[in-house]
Amino acid sequence: MHISLIESLKSKLLQDLPGWDAQKRMSPVKTAKYRETASDAKKAGVMLLLHPNEDNDLSLFYIKRASHNPNDKHGGQISFPGGQMDHEDKDFVDTSIRETYEEIGINPTEIEVLGQLTSIYVFASNFYVQPVVGFLPYNPTLVLQESEVDYTIQTSLETLTDPSTIQTKDFKFGSFNVKNMPYYNIQNEVLWGATAMITSEFLTVLDTVS
């Protein structure tokens, strides 16, 4: 039942993307820094993995990152599966698929890559992040890399597109203070920052799919 939507989404991802116009809706701070990649930025790929949940509704996987490493600026945050590009990866798609396998145990051969979203520069950690959209035709049993992942959050597209899921709050993260920061409230978790901005662009594209 999801095939027509997946095929339409695949076609839309080949067209012009909404980019910053969609990303900035969920930006903690309205700054051009997200668009000005540093020359020494590290490269990373993340995976937006569409799949049917137990009710056969299309969903995405998010992960709660482990916070064992005090030097990890994204420890404890909600993100997509993904990570830094390895010298053996031929491109960002390779990176996102490899990291998804390592972090949550999804068989790389079973992910259909639908396309890519607009890259984003995470200036707080100096990462150039390329989002990749994939599709898995079943609801998988996950195997978590416990050193990297505390747990996963399976979130339906219906939940993400519900206007009440977007909320605001005053937020403090380290020395980072923001008033009325927009975020997605998913299962009482705060999905904010670059991951929320990527989610916003994805949902904007999805909204144009018939």
d(CA 93, CA 83): 11
pLDDT at res. 74: 47
When pLDDT is averaged across residues 133-150 and rounded to a whole number, the result is: 96
Q: Please, what is the average pLDDT of the chain?
A: 93
**pTM beyond 0.85:** yes
Q: Has residue 127 been placed in a domain?
A: yes
Q: Has residue 172 been placed in a domain?
A: no
What per-residue string of b and e applies to 192-202 under the rule 16 or more CB within 10 Å gives b?
Answer: bbbbbbbbbbb
Q: Has residue 189 been placed in a domain?
A: no
Through-space distance between the first and last CA atoms of the chain, rounded to whole angstroms: 14
Confidence of residue 44 (pLDDT cuts 50, 70, 90): very high
For the stretch 180-205, pLDDT in tens is 999 999 999 999 999 999 999 999 99
For the stretch 53-88, pLDDT in tens is 999 999 999 999 986 555 545 468 999 999 999 999
DSSP 123-150: TTTTEEEEEEEEE-SS-PPP---TTTEE
d(CA 154, CA 52): 10
The CA angle 97-115-56, to the nearest 5 degrees, is 75
d(CA 17, CA 155): 23
What total number of domains does the chain contain? 1
When pLDDT is averaged across residues 86-109 and rounded to a whole number, the result is: 97
Q: Has residue 32 been placed in a domain?
A: yes
Q: Has residue 73 been placed in a domain?
A: yes
pLDDT at 142 over 90: yes
d(CA 53, CA 67): 27
When pLDDT is averaged across residues 140-158 and rounded to a whole number, the result is: 96
pLDDT at 139 over 70: yes
Q: Has residue 43 been placed in a domain?
A: yes
Q: Has residue 185 been placed in a domain?
A: no
Percentage, residues of the chain above pLDDT 90: 83
Enclosing domain of residue 39: 3-161+194-207
Confidence of residue 90 (pLDDT cuts 50, 70, 90): very high
- Dmax over CA atoms of the chain, in Å, equals 47
Q: Has residue 139 been placed in a domain?
A: yes
User: Domain with 114 in it: what CATH number?
Assistant: 3.90.79.10
Q: How far is CA 31 from CA 24, 28, 34, 41, 147, in A?
A: 9, 9, 7, 18, 33
